[in-house]
Amino acid sequence: MQAVRFAEVLEAALDAVAGPPPSGAWVPPRWSPPPTRLDGPRRVPFASTPYASLVTPAAERPAPPARRLTAAQARALNAMLSRGAALTESFTERELRSAFRLLARQYHPDRHPHASEAARARLARLFGALVADHHTLRTALRPEPTRPH
C-alpha cells in the first residue's frame, strides 16, 4: 500500500515541477496490473504437488522407514553423534549430508589456520575419521541387494 502512496506523491511532485504536458505531447499511460485470464490453467492445490514435502514441517512429515544398521554403521553413527551431529537411526541422505557438512566446517584443519601444528594434526585425524564415518553411513542409505531366486 505504501508503494501506491509513494507513486502518487512522486507523480504529484513531478506534475508540480514540470507542469502539465504541452498539448499534443506523448504522455505515458498510467500503470495498471495485467489483466487476469479467466480461462487460464487449472490451479492445483500445492499440497498435492511433489514439492509440498520440501516445505511441509518436519512434525507433519511421515517418518522414514526404520533401518537396521550394521555394527560398523552403528559405531560410525555414534562417533558422529559424539561430535555433535543431529542424526537419528532413520536419517535421510539430506540429513546425513547436512550433518557432515556442519561437522566438516568445524573439524577441517584448513578452517583453523592459526592453530599449532599439534592441533592441526589432531584436527586432521578427527576430520579423516569423520570422512570415514560419513562414507560408512552412506552405505546404510544404499538399497540392499536382492538375491535372485
**How does pLDDT run along the chain (149 residues), one tens digit per residue?**
555 577 777 777 766 666 666 677 666 667 666 656 555 555 555 556 666 666 656 666 666 666 788 899 999 999 999 998 888 888 889 999 999 999 999 999 998 889 899 999 999 999 999 999 999 999 888 876 666 66
pLDDT score, position 28? 66
pLDDT at 55: 61
Q: Quick check: pTM over 0.75?
A: no
Neighbour-count burial for 43-61, b at 16+ CB within 10 Å, e otherwise:
eeeeeeeeeeeeeeeeeee
Supply the DSSP string of 93-140, one letter for each residue.
HHHHHHHHHHHHHHH-GGG-TTS-HHHHHHHHHHHHHHHHHHHHHHHH
For residue 50, what pLDDT is reported? Answer: 63
Q: Interhelix angle for 117-141 vs 71-82, to 10°?
A: 130
Nearest to 107 by CA among 119, 97, 117: 119
CB of 78 closer than 8 Å to CB of 69? no
